[in-house]
Structure 1
Amino acid sequence: MSEAFAKEGAQVIATDINQEKLQELDATPGIRTRNLDVTQKEEVKALADELDRVDVLFNVAGFVHHGTILECEESDWDFTMSLNIIDAVGEGTVDTPSLRDRIQSRPDPEQAFKDFMARQRIGRMCTAEEVAHLCVYLASDESAYVTGSELVIDGGWSL
């Protein structure tokens, strides 16, 4: 996401709880990085107080419990819902490191991957870059009349 906006000329402040992942962006022109936990209101407020102006804000944080709903502790469910429930972009299965970790955590990773792929109506998973392109569009003048909508990018899965 950060790289897509920087490529369009935006000055980006990329935040994450994972400092190691942020370091991958340090050399990218137009991107500054900062360690931040978006679930901590005080941290978010401290960053907001430092900024003069924000034109576009994307919270790309997310969490999915590894395993079935029956294996999910109530605290994991509560955390997932509080972090993931507010969204303007409804993405389907996105091929990310997090998804790959979930697949690898299954008893049969090869079958888990096949199961994920079997649900993809267009025969492949969405890429993070495709989600980023949609978000760049939403931040652009071209989307000026788009408001109050959830945009679904799931390769037809929800049809």
Structure 2
Amino acid sequence: MASSEPRPGRLEGKIALITGAGAGIGRASALLFAKEGAQVIATDMNPDLLADMKDLPGILRTEKLNVTNKEDIVNLAKTIDKIDVIFNCAGIVPGGSILEADDATWNLALDINARGAYWVCQALIPIVLKNKGTCSIVNMSSVASSLKGVENRFIYCVSKAALLAVTKSIAADFVGQGIRANNICPGTVDTPSWRGRVNSSPDPQKALADFIGRQKMGRVGTADEIAYLALYLASDEASYVTGQDFIIDGGWSM
């Protein structure tokens, strides 16, 4: 006879910080993590996107956080006594080849997509070590990185390749101290950011058809599908997994 006792969530008792939690994959992950028992610190540089989340069960608190501002990150870390999961999900997707690239966009993309994760981890890892605890770091990279060259994504690919290296270096340095670090590497995912890029193109219908046409499954991914991979990596089910790049792209990179 099945037990009537409620089953604990997969992140029960864990405190998780998520950057870029206001929309897309970050938001889907924040809601899923909370549903699975975590106490979530949901952060985003646009606090308006977090307004409807702050009173939801499992959302410990919402915070405005600009990951390009090291002082903001350090100050947030000072308010955290315990951390079990760090999900660096904030990111931007600039387009263009190397011929369209400019230094301002290069700097911004590297700051948000790579340096922000570096600063967040640098600020929070000492809390884990002080508590002699464990922690799963999940970083949102992309197949568009050193894993796959993608047309008109020069700066984006470089920034996400840098994040792959950030993750693997952290994994190597702290593998014996209870800290795991892994990359999620999606292909094209239906998010507000992606929809914005499609709709801002000269021919949105053609842009949408082109995106779908290159997908071997005939569709793009969903934010929830990526969130479930993040949940696995954040959970103790992945306790023997570190330093890895998890491709979730519908077979695009095959």
TM-score interval, normalised by the smaller of the two chains:
over 0.9
Runs of 4+ in 1 over 2 A off after TM superposition: 67-74, 81-85
Q: CA deviation at 1:20?
A: 1.5
Extract unaligned runs of 5+ from structure 1.
none
Structure showing greater Rg: 2
Q: CA separation in 2, counterparts of 1:77 and 1:110?
A: 29
Q: CA separation in 2, counterparts of 1:100 and 1:74?
A: 26
Q: Tell me the amino acid that sits aligned with residue 83 of structure 1.
A: I
Match of 1:143 in 2: 238
Q: Give a deviation string over 1:27-48, Cα, whole Å, max 9, x none.
A: 3211121111011111111111
Q: Secondary structure at the match of 2:196?
A: helix
1:114-153 matches, within 5 Å, as 114-153=209-248
1:46 aligns with 2:75: yes
Ranked by relative contact order (alpha carbons within 8 Å, sequence separation 6 or more), the top structure is 1
**Could you tell me the TM-score, scaled by structure 2's length?**
0.60
Task: Give % identity.
Answer: 51
Q: Secondary structure at the match of 2:85?
A: coil
**Could you tell me the TM-score, scaled by structure 1's length?**
0.93
RMSD over aligned Cα, in angstroms? Answer: 1.3
Q: Give a deviation string over 1:117-149, Cα, whole Å, max 9, x none.
A: 011111111111111100110011111111110
- The count of aligned residue pairs is 158
Q: Secondary structure at the match of 2:78?
A: helix
Q: Secondary structure at the match of 1:152?
A: strand
Q: CA separation in 2, counterparts of 1:75 and 1:50?
A: 32
Extract unaligned runs of 5+ from structure 2.
1-28, 114-159, 165-182
Q: Tell me the amino acid that sits aligned with residue 39 of structure 2.
A: Q
Q: Give a deviation string over 1:91-134, Cα, whole Å, max 9, x none.
A: 11110000011111110011000011011111111111111100
